[in-house]
Amino acid sequence: MENAKAHRNTLSMETPTPPPAWALLERELIRAQTLACQEFFDRYFDERGYLLCVPRWGGDDGPDDAAENLLNWTVLHALGAPDTILALYRKGWEGHLRQYTEAKTVDVPFARDGMYYKEFSVLFDWFHHGEGFSVFFLQGLSEPDDLLFRGRSRRYAGFYMNEDPQADNYDPKHRIIRSLFNGSRGPLLRKATALDWAGDPIEIEDRFRLGHSERSYQEMLDHFKDYTDVVGDHPINLGATTLAFNAYALTGEAKYRDWLLGYVDAWAERTRANQGIIPSNIGLDGKIGGACGGKWYGGCYGWAFTVVVPQTGELAHRPAVYSRAHYGFANALLLTGDQRYMDVWRGVLDQVNANAKKIDGQTMYPRMFGDDGWYDYRPQPFNAGAAELYYWSMDPADRKRLEGDGWFDFLDGKKPDYPVQALQADMEILRRRVAGMRADDTTPDTRLSDDMNGTNPAVTETLTRLMLGGLPTGRLGFPLHCRVRYFDPARRRAGIPEDVAALVERLTGDETTLTLVNVSPTQAREVIVQAGAYAEHQILSATADGQTLPVDHDRFAVRLAPGAGGRIVIKMKRYANPPTMAFPWDRA
């Protein structure tokens, strides 16, 4: 039960108010997605939870793409969708693990005994690990006490902490993950081949539609022919820190925190040593560029990773080096509250942009670096991760990096119509996805696992921004970052109670403005408002209707009379508490 102090931390809202349009749209979007997800599951999964497709290994189509058909389902439940969504996710996830443990390759050497081993991908990069396990990583928002989730979270973290002799991914001396390819069977310590990436030969023409538009298996191989330099560490491996974060938030055991901070600190040191730009290869000797002839910019997905598109012969830049690494530094911020981790990424942005130059009289900014220096110049400043950086820092100087962001403009008071417009847009996305699902005429033997990704009905990006004041989780494979989230004390579960809608209207470094509305004209509701996804923030006070409630806790409760609602100004200290997945009534 909630302790006595938390019981005193209760605001009451008694004045009825007409339900605003955004509140009704929120509730309808949650309801409609729930029904659509049920239809989607019935269409594409069997009674075991297996996906009805041809299971394959590979970067074009593989286990990670299969799991993405459940993407956002755990977030949808944590927002407040009915328990049926969580039950369907569980069935699909258990089926997914069994299906891809049973699925085996013939030619790809490391997956011949199963694409999953010990319920984790045998060997792949964290671009794909993150995509495949995103939905699982967020299960703890709703089920932190689930024994399977807890056991898997600890086991997966152990793959990168030398706790499993078959998964020697980590070198503690040099603080490196030893290869871009890593997993439950350890690192790949040779050059990767196109076969490793593309998977076994497969019939394409007149049967399958490939996501990268290849027209033959040979074009699949050609797509990956330059994806060879995988030995050594790469910033995308910072995705593995989510495993340690989850294990820590579940158990509070210091070993997970220590490993995470040690690994992130190593990347911060390498970035500083490389003149403020995060390098894209660390050799097995721990030296920058050590596996790429000393080139800090080398390696697959590196700063110089420009490849040829086989279908067109055009060049394509694929520098995943800066697509997700900033979230790894944010994991350290979640654990420590130390804004110096944001300084690292801010420095990367500044150092890259310092190489701008005039081209035909216009200032142009680079994105890539190769043997001949900087290239891929564009008119806009380099801003990978700039929106997230501002969200984490709340530094006005970081806000200046962002232009034309409707959500941040709304939070600044500039676009009052944004919530309704964004929710209406998501309703249209949902309509199109369901229409696409119903028009799908493929059969399981002409369907690859990623064919359905585009019709997955879980559309949670706008709900995450508006309800939680949070960053959409997407398929990156990292924790949820938000200012507030909600619990239903009556049903003893995560998520906003039935009939309640929430809108985060303003964010500053020490303040959150939140409006709660009970759209039911007949039933009172109570909601627990928690500071942060993992109670990482501390609420100092909450003010509504001119009354200020001293809180000094990580949550407070709000009682909403039938049809009542109002605005609450929450004073808080961000990143003040160790993150935890425990529900409010299970902690002091």
Weakest mean pLDDT among 41-45, 308-312, 531-535, 578-582: 308-312
Cα–Cα distance between 264 and 298 in angstroms, integer?
20
Q: State whether 196 and 248 are in the same domain.
A: yes
Q: State whether 433 and 494 are in the same domain.
A: no
- Taking only the tens place, the pLDDT of each residue in 485-543 is 999 999 999 999 999 999 999 999 999 999 999 999 999 999 999 999 999 999 999 99
pLDDT given at position 211: 80
| Cβ–Cβ < 8 Å for 390, 399 | yes
- Taking only the tens place, the pLDDT of each residue in 205-228 is 989 988 878 899 999 999 999 999
Residue 478 lies in a domain: no
The mean pLDDT value for 147-155 works out to: 98
Cα–Cα distance between 267 and 270 in angstroms, integer?
5
Q: State whether 456 and 501 are in the same domain.
A: no
Residue 7 lies in a domain: no
Q: Which residues, in sequence order, are CB contacts of 23 under 8 Å at separation 6+?
A: 501, 503, 517, 519, 565
Burial of 283 (0-12, 13-18, 19+ CB in 10 A): buried
User: What type of residue sits at position 558?
Assistant: V
- Taking only the tens place, the pLDDT of each residue in 155-195 is 999 999 999 999 999 999 999 999 999 999 999 999 999 99
Confidence of residue 60 (pLDDT cuts 50, 70, 90): confident
- Looking at the structure of the chain, the number of domains it has is 2
Q: State whether 551 and 462 are in the same domain.
A: no
Burial of 59 (0-12, 13-18, 19+ CB in 10 A): buried
- Taking only the tens place, the pLDDT of each residue in 318-362 is 999 999 999 999 999 999 999 999 999 999 999 999 999 999 999
Cα–Cα distance between 123 and 253 in angstroms, integer?
27
Check pLDDT > 50 for residue 2.
no
Residue 208 lies in a domain: yes
Q: State whether 167 and 239 are in the same domain.
A: yes
Q: State whether 495 and 414 are in the same domain.
A: no
User: What type of residue sits at position 292?
Assistant: C
Q: State whether 323 and 415 are in the same domain.
A: yes
pLDDT given at position 588: 79
Confidence of residue 8 (pLDDT cuts 50, 70, 90): low
Cα–Cα distance between 202 and 572 in angstroms, integer?
55
Kindly report the backbone phi and psi dihedral angles of residue 195, in degrees, each rounded to the nearest multiple of 5, phi listed first: -65, -40
Q: State whether 435 and 489 are in the same domain.
A: no
Q: What is the mean pLDDT of the chain?
A: 96
Q: State whether 545 and 425 are in the same domain.
A: no
Residue 10 lies in a domain: no
> The whole model's pTM is what?
0.97
Q: State whether 427 and 512 are in the same domain.
A: no
Residue 521 lies in a domain: yes
Q: State whether 461 and 499 are in the same domain.
A: no
Q: Which domain holds residue 116?
A: 20-466
CATH of the domain at 560: 2.60.40.1180
Residue 428 lies in a domain: yes
Residue 141 lies in a domain: yes
Please identify, among 466, 500, 515, the residue that sits at the C-terminal boundary of a domain. Answer: 466
Check pLDDT > 90 for residue 79.
yes
pLDDT given at position 137: 98
Q: State whether 497 and 453 are in the same domain.
A: no
Check pLDDT > 70 for residue 560.
yes
Q: Which of 142, 535, 571 is nearest to 337 (CA)?
A: 535
**Residue indicated by tokens 């495993």:** 243
CATH of the domain at 429: 1.50.10
Count of CB atoms situated within 10 Å of the CB of 316: 11
pLDDT given at position 5: 45
- Taking only the tens place, the pLDDT of each residue in 275-303 is 999 999 999 999 999 999 999 999 999 99
Please identify, among 433, 466, 499, the residue that sits at the C-terminal boundary of a domain. Answer: 466
Residue 476 lies in a domain: no
pLDDT given at position 127: 96
Confidence of residue 6 (pLDDT cuts 50, 70, 90): very low
Please identify, among 466, 499, 522, the residue that sits at the C-terminal boundary of a domain. Answer: 466
